[in-house]
Chain A
């Protein structure tokens, strides 16, 4: 499966240059350009060309910002240009030294940049908890130079509508950056980032991050480790094992096989969805009967972890037009997630008849989600580019797929959650 993704990614990376040239061409031809706008567009063309040609496998925001900080001196004056960028669990501070400045100068800029980004992000994401990586390029650092950064201009970096960093220009001269300088840099940054997002979205580059591949590998390896290890114990220790131990081992093997099958199904669903090949088999049927049958298959799995499994079906029938196999996969993903992220307490699964919808709810007493985690949950590219956090145990593919499968049936999916208090995932399918 991964090799299929790798091949697709390589082909798409090769075509990314063509798409990029198309966007640049479009930006040239779609409007009458003033001389200054034309200069900016020429500059964007150079920046993106440089970004794409430096390293064909790194069509990333970092690569784009590297190009910007090392080349914008042709547009505005600065001693040092830097960027501070959130990358997964870490924070990268990279400076390009244009005029020889001291290490103290760079530290001051770094401190100001962290304060600026923290202000933009609010308290939800504490930057001091992230591992900071520092890089310097360009001219030499000269500690004999006692000049300090007098004027600093910060431009917020937004990627896929999320604040992910700041671009900073610092100068020791006692003068401030002009409105025109600020406007120019803003324009170059925003449009370069816009093009990069388009390229990544169209080529699926975001999907191929190392983090994503690592998470898929980790997801696959955990159940494989359990199956392999337990089979080995059964083979070598058959006579020493008590029958109760054996039952436990068989249960773990069975559960791991179902974990593997969920992961493989999810990967196949993503591949199919990306090619528009998910065909629904919609039928009018009683979803209460379906609900009772499906949710019971999880009872053993949940209760074997000493969690309470509470099922609340409605009285009577609820007839809806739906695809039972697809909806079973949504339930499977949501209940598996609840089980994965709940250490103690209960999982409550219910079905109710609403005004216009049949409402399925999966509520747990698990670790819950922060505001920023909630924002990323159902977005494939966000999930792939920014794994929720270090505690995330899987690719999050299940939720992305569930959303598509619910929406394809005319339904909606939503989440209520508080960090540390648990989560409730609700999906609604329309009544006939």
Chain B
């Protein structure tokens, strides 16, 4: 069982991933805007973060860079999940230390569950 932090502003997408991950007995913490993400990660210590790019306040790549530049959160595993999968975004996310970049439309929740279990 893994502790997963889901940062996603689209409620329907968040429901979708939460439904699958809970059925797989993982615990899911949900943030719909990524506010105070570094503090949340320090407090909750998730095994993995699923991070959207387009968020209402700071975008996902900015949040990723904040996580990776903080000594307490730099080692947390981050999968970026976004339909804004331009080569530029993929390269940036991987360069910044994300372990994977998955376009949401190319993966069904079951595959995401399997992927997470392989990584944690």
Contact = CB atoms under 8 A, between A and B. Distances in A.
Interface of A: 214, 217-218, 221-226, 228-230, 232-233, 236-237, 240-241, 245, 248-249, 252, 255-256, 304-305, 343, 367, 390-391, 393
Contacts of A237: 20, 23
Contacts of A304: 11
Contacts of A255: 12
Contact of B23 (A214, A240, A367): A240
A61 to B, nearest CB: 21
17 contacts: A214-B86, A221-B105, A222-B10, A222-B13, A222-B83, A222-B104, A228-B105, A228-B108, A229-B109, A230-B19, A232-B110, A236-B110, A240-B23, A241-B23, A255-B12, A304-B11, A391-B59
Contact of B54 (A229, A256, A343, A391): A391
A233 B12 contact: no
Contacts of A230: 16, 19
B105 A224 contact: yes
Contacts of A233: 16, 19-20, 23, 109-110
A240 B13 CA distance: 20
A275 B13 CA distance: 36
The 5 closest A-B pairs by CB, nearest first: A232-B108, A221-B105, A221-B83, A252-B12, A226-B12
Contact of B33 (A224, A305, A343, A393): A343
B15 interface: yes
A229 B108 CA distance: 5
Contacts, number: 75
A233 to B, nearest CB: 6
Given A221-B104, A222-B83, A232-B110, A390 B16 contact: no
Nearest to B61: A390
A225 B105 contact: yes
A229 B110 CA distance: 9
A228 to B, nearest CB: 6
B32 interface: yes
Contact of B84 (A218, A228, A391): A218
B15 A252 contact: yes
Nearest to A341: B56
Interface in B22-43: 23, 32-33
Given A225-B105, A228-B108, A229-B109, A218 B19 contact: no
Contacts of B108: 228-229, 232
Q: Which of B20, B32, B57 has the most CB of A within 10 A?
A: B20
Contacts of B110: 232-233, 236
Given A221-B104, A236-B110, A393-B54, A226 B16 contact: yes
B83 A226 contact: no
B15 A248 contact: yes
Contacts of B103: 221
A252 B54 contact: no
B84 A229 contact: no
A218 B83 contact: yes
Contacts of A249: 15, 19
A225 to B, nearest CB: 5
A367 B56 contact: yes
B105 A343 contact: no
B19 A245 contact: yes
A256 B12 contact: yes
A223 B83 CA distance: 11
